[in-house]
Structure 1
């Protein structure tokens, strides 16, 4: 697959993301009161989309957005599909959920601010760790990034960021603590029993000399697990 096709895909997806952001801004400003709950939700949604634009253009300028797409028979089509699902369809769903159900379920402004803070912290952990990984690889490809930056505190620190961010976004969208807990459980189970074991197998296969030292570090949550 040529770099030109990948760049073309990024441009098209970016265009649609900006269109969605304009739609979201219009909904915020002209379809309801500017209450704290709505402002924090739409701000979180903007951060969600800007985060992936940053990853696409800064962290992964020459790669498909979703690594799993590369192994498919039609990688570009798969990546288009996943991009539109995550950055167009999902934001539409989050917005509908918020505008339709939030007022019936929310637990109040204090909880809203706490959850929003968790969302920002989780997003920052993911972005900073990804940027640090890229920096280490660019400075010296022979170095293992898992010994540097946030990764030295947990070999899957980026997954920890996701565990904080995604359930928080669902709460900001719905106002339902039940949905928050269900998403949190789903994330934890997926990472602990599926994603982390895959990472461990990869490390053992590709870094046999360093595997023992790497796997002696915390797996997911700094200083805890």
Structure 2
């Protein structure tokens, strides 16, 4: 987790420095909304089924045909089967729960062309970031939500979601076709959770495909 946090901080610093030297005055769509499905591949198919996926990205131009996106994807997993999670003292069969999140930056190379007298754009995208896969917390199953008095004597409300999360670095490659701000895209996602946790099996699953529609604003 510490590596992921350091990575995000380094990226923010790099992005801030880049914007100091490159003043972007070009008019274009700054925001990109995405909606579609995530299709698990390989061993990941035994944990979740085809699931809903939503994305939001803020865009800034680096060069004439290069854009940098900063944003996230949210996956609402369709539960299929449980998987083994090794706690401190016991082994549990747990299922996905809640939502899973991918926070990342994305480099886009744009190729413009005209089809049927309409302008269109193909974007080749390379994504890198952090991914979080949430699941049942059977190691601490009690629901501790409620009001508590903190060390200063103040009454506070604490929410216990009864979930844990696997985390890992995340990479993806994708291609999209856009015309009149509306697009369709396909992305291959690589999320090697077992590389970053010894509490799950080595064949947990690493791959998925995203099929999405997008709208630029």
TM-score normalised by structure 1 residue count: 0.26
More strand by share: 2
More helix by share: 1
Larger C-alpha radius of gyration, 1 or 2?
2
TM-score normalised by structure 2 residue count: 0.26
